[in-house]
Structure 1
Amino acid sequence: MVQEPTQDHLIGTIVDGRYMVRSRLARGGMSTVYLATDQRLERDVALKVLHPHLANDPTFLERLSREAKAAASLSHPHIVGVLDQGEDGHIAYLVMEYVKGHTLRDVLTEQGALPPRLALALIDPVIEGLAAAHGSGLIHRDIKPENVLIADDGRIKVGDFGLARAVSANTSTGALIGTVAYLAPELVLGQAADARSDIYSAGIMLYEMLTGKQPYAGETPIQVAYQHVNAVVGRPSDAAPGLAEDLDELVQWCTAADAENRPVDGTALLTELRHIRTTLTDEQLDHRQGPAPLPFPPAVPTAATTTLGSTAGNPTEALPTTVSPTEFISPQSNPTTIMAANGPSRSLAKGSMAGADMDQDLRQPGKRELKRLERQQAKDRARAAATPVRPLREGNPGRRGVIWTIVIVILALLAGSAGWFFGMGPGSPGTVPDVKNKTVAEAQQLLRTAGFQSEPRDVFDDDILAGLAVGTEPESGAQVRKFQPITLFVSKGAQLFALPTLTGGTLAEAKTALNAAEMALGNVTEAFDEKVPAGVVISQDPAKGTEVRHGTPVALVVSKGPQPIPVPDVRGLAQDAAAKALQDVGLKAVIAPETVNDKTVPKGSVASQAPANGNLFKGDTVTLSVSKGPIIVKVPNFVGKNADAAERELRKLGFEVVIKKDVVILNLVLVQNPVNTDVPEGSLITLTVV
């Protein structure tokens, strides 16, 4: 990142009592980035201060806080770490790891199209970072060269995780989030984004790295967005001839308009990316776009290594191949001098290599030319000696005339035949007709009418019905000589492949297997299962072994584990009724061995249960404690005693007491009901007081 000299009121201030703002690094559509010093930890950080229209939105700030926490939990060597987030008055900010260096945009601006070896080396850590984020449930939504940071020490990191997601959630009007040149079609259409949206943006970025330009251009952003939705990203080799076919397929896989046809996430793409890097030849990896080298370039070293950065276990390098000496042939005809771009010139005598066995005098220009003339004169003398000075037979002049006449006639016939052959006959040019979707007989008749002979060849085709023509080689519309054979491709129908077994593994494993089989992921639903652990695939549709076309979507049902059962409240029910109520919902009742007294629950009914609430799973147990009724207590006689003392004693015994009195003079119990009898704990005792 390049520091921009500018006047800014924040420079020199301390944000939130902690971050000393030192200089401004960059300004974008959502925020301004400053170089700041964390005074608490004494380290440099990147302080991203949001623009006021975002900082003044409470809903956005709440969303940003959640996303920042999620991004901060993701620690990976190829992702810029989110260190802090907060507000200081009218300032809303994010604190991120400071990466001193430059961006991928700077590299593309300076170098244009990159050799495939360098392009793949640069994008590898980007995809590795995305794979880690996707595995943690995070989506970037704004992958572009400006967000790929290249540190001075070679480390490569993806920035702005969390911020793009928070902003996209805050756009109620459906505005496009992310640089439109790299925006996935589903985001243009306002649909939900997932990991495959990041894959699309990465594919557009790789296209630009390989070709030096973006696949879509327009005078306004909406024109570019329209192309993302309605066009198909072309092959990089169309814009940069000579690129390997594997690179074309990789870019077009990532940028498929239908997200179902892209890699499911960063992990799937990373696997294929690294496979391609190992299968391309050095010539394919080091293919470079641009004009041819100058006739006499300056000498270059024989080898060079450009290290971009590395992480433990996965070095990220761009390694140009060893530079071979480039030889240039001078215009002199003899001797032929070859000038090496990185070494001394060497000479070749005509017809033989100059070397240690050549006489020293031949290395001197005058003697070398004299020697050549002597050899040429010797050859001329030998040729003259072998040539007769007069014919062996004089011959007849009239006969010679007849012979010449015959020769001329034959040549005329040959010329006429050749003219007919190449003008109207089998050698004349013709246009190969379009035979697609024709029957074999119809296609061959069309070719015969056009003057061609065809050879049928059966091929698989996903779109053309079996038995119909797929096309020709050369293809329709081509101008070829009629004597050249035409290959007629006849469809055998779609090639079918057996579906792999997806059940019994995790959803991630199923996705990997589908990618390997070149199948698509269909609808994923969840269902409770008492035997299959949560997260494991229960079933697939179509079933394993079913023969289908490549790209067929496969629906999966994933287990949510055993279904939780809310514990019913059976307190107060008779013992048998309570046990049946638990059994009806799939739980088991266990009766506690000890009964309990309970003044509110009749004997034989459930006084308490454990657990009393919450969730259990099928077959779990609930312990029931059965009531043996209230405690029986004998009522003492308090007739003639102080009413207040009588009330206190009765309440200590657990009775309810009611006092009846009209005029109290002595405050003595005149009448007590009941008295001197056994009654249940908590019974009502009536005292009449005088």
Structure 2
Amino acid sequence: MQEHVADPLAGAIVDGRYRIISRLARGGMSTVYLATDNRLDRPVALKILYPHLAADRFFLERFEREAKSAARLSHPHVVGVLDQGYDGDIAYLAMEYVPGHTLRDTLNEKGALTPRLALALLDPVVEGLAAAHQAGLVHRDVKPENVLMSSDGRIKIGDFGLARAASASNSTATLIGTVAYIAPELVSNAAADARSDIYSVGIMLFEMLTGRQPFTGESSIQIAYQHVNSSVPLPSSVVPGLAPDLDELVQWCTARDPDQRPHSATALLGELRHIRTTLSDRELDFRAAMAGPAVGGVPGSDTGRLGTQPINTLPAAAGAAAADDHSEDPNRTTVIAPSYQRTTAIPRTPLPQGPVRPQVPDGTLPAVPGAARPRGLSKRQERAWERERARQARRPAVALRPGNRRRRGVVWAVVLTLLAVLAATAGWFFGMGPGAPISIPDVTGRSSADAQALLQQRGLEFSLNEVFDEQIERGLAVGTVPSPPAQVRWFEPVTLIVSKGPELFEVPKVLGLTEEQAKAKLQAANLTAGQITREYHASAPAGSILGQDPSAGEHLRRGSAIDLTASAGPEPFDVPDVTGESVEDATSDLQREGLKVSIAQDRVYDREVDAGKVVSQSPASGTVVPGDTVTLTLSLGPRMVDVPSVVGQSVRDARRTLEDLGFEVDVRNFFFGGDDATVRSQDPDGGTAPEGSVITLRAF
């Protein structure tokens, strides 16, 4: 049953009470989650309305009324409604969680079921519907997907959470339901009552016996049209060999005219159990080797897909008319009309077509075994009539000893007197005596002792249950189960819930972790990371946690924030300038600042920097942090250049020649010859000299 799907609400807490674990399913108006009730420590199914419905005030008012109506229904074969409320823009309904699978899963796995298994599985479903109908609720969407089968063997009918009380039903119903199981009157826009659910039960029984749905088609309109205009075929036409009683039961439930169906689920339950006891073991355990093609469908249609699609409205061609209330959800349930509430002793009506149980004009079966067989019966009808006559014959019609009439009168008087006394005693017991209903007082916020004393004053027996609560202080009452203003009798259990105060969680140690690791560890401890302050640290890598407040070991409420101090790494500083220094001095200066030194493999000539000293560095400027590397380039000193002889050249030509070689020229003229003077001598003359050195010329 459970579908694990990622969801934004997973892990959230709704209304301070329900922690969402995972998403189970999505419907036409809501999403259903598996959640934990933190107050009572139990799993629940939490139905959360879609936001556009939760924003509709009129819808929410109806939602609350319907939830209260469904909560009053308590039956072992009906999924219970536990709570309803709001949390901001979230409207939710808490329901009993039934782990296991659905009847749909069983049909998908097994296909057609034996009559014995089909009737056994249907029995609790019909019993649950009978209880709901007696409470004034009608389901309107009975289908295998809503029959929940728990792992311990319990069977429950689900999704009564949106049924409306009969007293609140005053509008025409919208066409709602799942098209494969929808009753004809819903397609035709007639009012829904208990007999609409019975029609869906009949369709479901047909599918359980045959392994397929009676009507299929390429569209929802085609299927709905068949519900209105065609009779459901006999199961034996699909699975030959099924008992005639099963055909009759399906046809009785699925009559197109609601008046021709069982008037209540209670009447259907009695007939279903009667058939289970009268069929032979061979008939109950009959299993077809292979079922034939789907009846009433279109070859090749996708029965499993189309037959279970929800249907909202249909055009007039399918016999449907749009309802006035378009805000109704497509999967909601509605209520029984008042005229069908608390129906008692309503005889079963004849079937509209095919095999029927013979009836006399007053609508009852013949009471005398020797009654004349009605004329014009089919062979199947004759068999049904004979079975009924045999059953009636087993009932004694005449006493073996007539006895004394006066004595019988005395006996009847005594019996009636005893019955009157019993009735008066029961009336006193349940009206004014110990069985009288007691209103549960509101004890929220009272001390545990005061709350217990108040319950004892009312004569209520109760048990204590302590829970964590974020709002109510330790030792004060959170409330009761059931909640006020519910009424119980003195012998019915009541639970007093007392707060243990907010649940506290130990602060974990996160020093030395990275920011992401620290946040994850705090979240796992049900805490959160608060403000993060960053500080320079010479040795701690950037992003590691240096401090936390509060410190590890303290105990805080769920969701409390822990402020963190994270390292921003070493503090940056201006890179030192070591150009012109010897390699030894430069290396020492840089390492003193925590920097690493790298010597460039290639050295360069430099006129001004002596060989072996630093001529350049990288980076040359900007900021660095300890651990960064500075690359030094060393000087080869000035380049040595051959000095040419320029004696005999003009000063102009000699200057150009020497300067092109990188020398500086110092001219000393005699007799003011200027640039046209002739160089008579030079110093040095020949050999080599450092690039950039001065060559002295003498000219006249």
**Larger relative contact order (Cα-Cα within 8 Å, sequence gap ≥ 6):** 2
TM-score class, shorter-chain normalisation, is: 0.3 to 0.5
- Which is greater in Rg? 2
Q: TM-score, normalised by structure 1?
A: 0.44
